[in-house]
Amino acid sequence: MKNENINLLFVCLGNICRSPAAEGIVKKMIKDEGLDHKVFVDSAGTSNWNEGNAPDERMRKHGAKRGYSFDGSARTFRSSDFDKFDYIIVMDNNNYNNVKKLARNDEDITKIHRMTDFSIDLDHDHVPDPYYGGEDGFEFVMDLLEDASKGLIKEIKMRL
């Protein structure tokens, strides 16, 4: 059965690096595919440390170099997100476990996916947190997110 609309939520720890980058990358790809009226994209973190903060300046800089805009403000993932979102896409196993703890039933759990589950060319089991690393870490995260986003868009197009 085809869906009318699809809602995506990207989740990392603080919602200032990986998940807002995934949100921005997918928003641009969705727009480029002409699907921005059918797909809603958001992001959240499993911690509330950065609530209300803009995405990390370094992540925004690396995104801008590739033509992406990472804006918005950090918010915390909550159980009610399972009601709004069709896909809850986490960056690593810690995020997976934290989100799963808030699931209320098996249907909620089926909505949780790892970002790297959608990877096409890069073989990595998680999207590492670049926060405490250098420039190379941010570039690697961007590579992983772009690759997995292409696979995600491919799956979404089959569902629409």
Confidence grade of residue 53 (pLDDT, cut at 50, 70, 90):
very high
Q: Assess contact for 109 and 103: CB atoms under 8 A.
A: yes
Confidence grade of residue 5 (pLDDT, cut at 50, 70, 90):
very high
Tens digits of residue pLDDT in 60-92: 999 999 999 999 899 999 999 999 999 999 999
Active site (catalytic) residues: 12, 18, 129
| Average pLDDT score over the chain | 96
Q: State if pTM tops 0.85.
A: yes
The whole-angstrom separation of Cα 12 and Cα 91 is: 6
Q: Which helix (H) or strand (E) holds 145?
A: helix 135-159
pLDDT (mean) for 46-71 = 95
Tens digits of residue pLDDT in 112-137: 999 999 999 999 999 999 999 999 99
In the block, residue with structure tokens 């690697």:
140
User: Domain map of the chain by residue range?
Assistant: 6-159
Q: Does domain 6-159 have CATH number 3.30.1330.60?
A: no
In this prediction, residue 3 carries a pLDDT of 62
Phi and psi for 124 in degrees, rounded to 5?
Answer: -145, 140
CB-based contacts of 51, cutoff 8 Å, min separation 6: 74, 75, 76
The whole-angstrom separation of Cα 20 and Cα 26 is: 10
pLDDT reading at 17 higher than 90: yes
